[in-house]
Structure 1
Amino acid sequence: MVIGLLIILGFVLFLPFTVPRIERNLEVFLLVMGCAAATSSGVLSKDLWMQAIRDPLHITLAVIFAGILFRWIRKPFENVIILGSRMIPFRLFLALIIMILGLISSVITAIIAALVLVAIASVLQMDRQSEIRFVILACYSIGLGAVLTPIGEPLSTIATNKLNEDFYYLMNLLGTDIVAGVFVFGLLAIVFIRPRNQSMTRLAKQTTESYISIFVRGMKVYVFVLALTLLGAGFEPLIRLYLLDLHPLTLYWINMISAVLDNATLAAAEISPAMDQSTIQALLLGLLVSGGMLIPGNIPNIIAAGKLNIRSGEWARVGVPLGLLAMIVYFIILLGRQ
């Protein structure tokens, strides 16, 4: 069993990063791996299937409804962005956008927050370097903020369901650290972004997303969360053997691997109700912070980079130093709580 699960884990960790076809069809790949892991560990059952079918419902509905709402208000939204960018000092305006997107991402979901981010970046038409920095800072903010509720992103959905906790559990556990991080990433925009004056003078043309595209995206999220539920259940025996006894700060640094794989996948594999609160806190913070380092690490990264044509090297040059600095800062905070 252990060898089989380790092989599956290796596939999950490396194939999406090395095989483009798998990266483009990540949901189906993870569903296959989730079924394989649950079968290998002997936990595949009717009850598990019912849980896997039920777990993604809230986040899927939130994604679909938010997508439809954003489609309806897109034009006035773009006009508001242009007006706001003219009334408020530009760098301060970008900092406020980053903070607001981070704080509301747990309500509108990380996916919709990322789509809003793309719309804003397209409207403002910044120079390339400023746009990349703005997008990466915002994705860090969204990736952190979305964890505060179970509907914000797959990681929070998986964590809340696996721990059998209520809607406000992650907010109570991580709220102070997450909100502080969101504000810091916003303030960094004032320092690191140098937009051109003409960047706020014209409205970019964008095609309106179809209802079919919105529904398809919601279904992809559903399959993604369903797959991670099966994956997490399948890896539970492996976690009990090797991870539960590790020091929380060791887990924190181990989870830097989420820079190359969506952090929800690792959360599904690692989190267990048998872990104590400090371990869960360190584990989640490690996943959340390092998930912004590279494009594959988080859903907002993938959406923003894909729609704005940001290459892996461009992202890494900004994302990795930011992520390492944030990891060190949060590590010092965690160390002080031990």
Structure 2
Amino acid sequence: MILGLTIVLLLVLFLPFTVKNVEHNLEAFLFIMGLLAATISQVLDNQLIIKALKDPLQITFAVFLAGLFFKWCQKPLEKGIRGLSQAIPFRLFLALVIIILGLISSMITAIIAAIALTVVVSVLQLERKSEIRFVVLACFSIGLGAVLTPIGEPLSTIAISKLNQDFFYLLRSIGILVIPAVIIFAILAAILVNPKNNTHQQKKKLKTDSYKDIIGRALNIYLFVMGLTLLGAGFEPFIKEYLLRLSPSVLYWINIISAILDNATLAAAEISSIMDESAIKAILLGLLISGGMLIPGNIPNIIAAQKLNITSREWASFGVPVGLLTMIIFFFILQAFG
């Protein structure tokens, strides 16, 4: 059993990063891997199937409704963003965008917050270096803030499901660390992002999502979370055999691999309700912070990079140092306060 799960884990960890077809069909791939892991562990019963069908409903519904709202209100939003950016001191505006998107992402989902970010950037006429810095810092903020409720992103959905906790558990558990981090990223943006260009160069307009895009995105999220639910249940024996013996500090740094792999996938494989709270905090924070370092690490990164044509090298040049510094700071905070 352990050998089979180890093979599945290696496939999940490396194929999305190395095989384009897998990367482009990640939801279907993870669903298949989840079925395989649950079958190997002999946990694929009616109860698990019902759970896998039920777990994705909240986040899927939230993504669908938010997608409709964004489609219907995109033009007024663009007009409002343009007006606010002109009425408020520019650096204060940047900081407020990062704080608001970071905190509201837990309710509108990280996906919709990332799409909203691309609209803000398309309005702002930033120079390229500043644009990349702003987008990376905003995605760090969105990735952290979205975890505060189970509808914010797949990682939080999976975590709440596996821990059998209530809607506000993550807000109570790590909100005291996440919210100040969001504010710090906003301050960094205000300092490091230069004011917009005074040129009249027009940026390419973002494509408006069709109803097919909105429905497709919601269905992909449903399949994605279903696959992660199966994957998490299938990996329970692996977790009990290996990960429960590791200290929270080791778990924290191991999860730096979330920079190149989707953090929800890793959360599904690592988190268990029989872990103590310090280990759960270490896993979650390690995944959340490192998930912002590179494009594949988190859904907001992927969406923003795709819509704004940011390359992996451009993202890494700023995301890696910011992420490593944040990892070090949070490591000492966890050591001091647990």
Sort the TM-score into its range (normalised by shorter chain).
over 0.9
Paired position in structure 2 for 1:89: 89
SS in 2 for 1:22: helix
Taking the aligned partners of 1:307 and 1:76, their CA distance within structure 2 comes to 20
How many angstroms apart in 1 are the aligned matches of 2:220 and 2:336?
40
Query: For residues 280 and 203 of structure 1, do their structure 2 counterparts lie closer, same or farther at Cα, with a shift above 3 Å needed?
Result: same
Residue identity matched to 2:25: N
Contact 1:123/1:202 (8 A) holds in 2: no
Task: Give 1:41 deviation, angstroms.
Answer: 1.1
The CA deviation string for residues 229-284 of structure 1, in whole angstroms up to 9 with x for no partner, is: 00000111000010112111110001111111110000000000000111101110
**1:282-321, aligned counterparts within 5 Å?**
282-321=282-321
Following TM superposition, by how much is the alpha carbon of 1:207 offset from its aligned partner in structure 2, in angstroms? Answer: 3.3
The answer to whether the 8 A contact 1:149-1:156 is kept is: yes
Q: Could you tell me which residue of structure 1 aligns to residue 117 of structure 2?
A: 117
Match status 1:144 vs 2:141: no
Contact 2:127 2:197 survives alignment (8 Å): no
Provide the C-alpha distance between the structure 1 equivalents of 2:94 and 2:104, rounded to a whole number of angstroms.
15
Partner in structure 1 of residue 336 of structure 2: 336
Query: Residue in 1 aligned with 2:187?
Result: 187
Task: Name the CA distance, whole Å, in 2 between partners of 1:285 and 1:148.
Answer: 12
Unaligned runs of 5+ in 1: none
Distance (whole Å) between structure 2 residues aligned to residue 149 and residue 206 of structure 1: 29
CA distance in 2, matches of 1:288, 1:37: 24
Q: 1:199 to 1:89 in 2, by over 3 A?
A: farther
Equivalent AA in structure 1 for residue 319 of structure 2: G
CA distance in 1: counterparts of 2:199 and 2:259, whole angstroms: 31
Q: CA RMSD in A?
A: 1.3
Aligned to 1:325: 325
User: Which residue number in structure 1 is paired with residue 108 of structure 2?
Assistant: 108
Q: Residue 318 of structure 1 aligns to a residue in which SS?
A: helix
- Structure 1 residue aligned with 2:63: 63
**How many Å apart are 1:82 and its aligned residue?**
0.6
Q: Which amino acid aligns with 2:196?
A: R
1:56-94 CA-to-partner distances (Å, cap 9, x unmatched) read: 000000000001011111111101111111111212211
Match of 1:237 in 2: 237
- Give the alignment of 1:5-84 within 5 angstroms: 5-84=5-84
- Cα displacement (A) at 1:199: 6.8
Q: In structure 2, how many angstroms separate the alpha carbons of the residues matched to 1:252 and 1:295?
A: 20
1:43 and 1:303 mapped to 2: Cα distance?
34
TM-score, normalising length: structure 2: 0.98
Cα deviation, residue 318, structure 1: 0.6
Structure-2 separation of matches of 1:202 and 1:95: 24
CA contact 1:82–1:203 (8 Å) conserved in 2: no
Q: Is the contact between residue 124 and residue 200 of structure 1 (CA under 8 Å) also seen in structure 2?
A: no
TM-score by length of structure 1 reads 0.98
Amino acid at match of 1:139: C
* 1:201 to partner: Cα distance: 9.1
Counterpart Cα distance in 2 of 1:225 and 1:118: 24
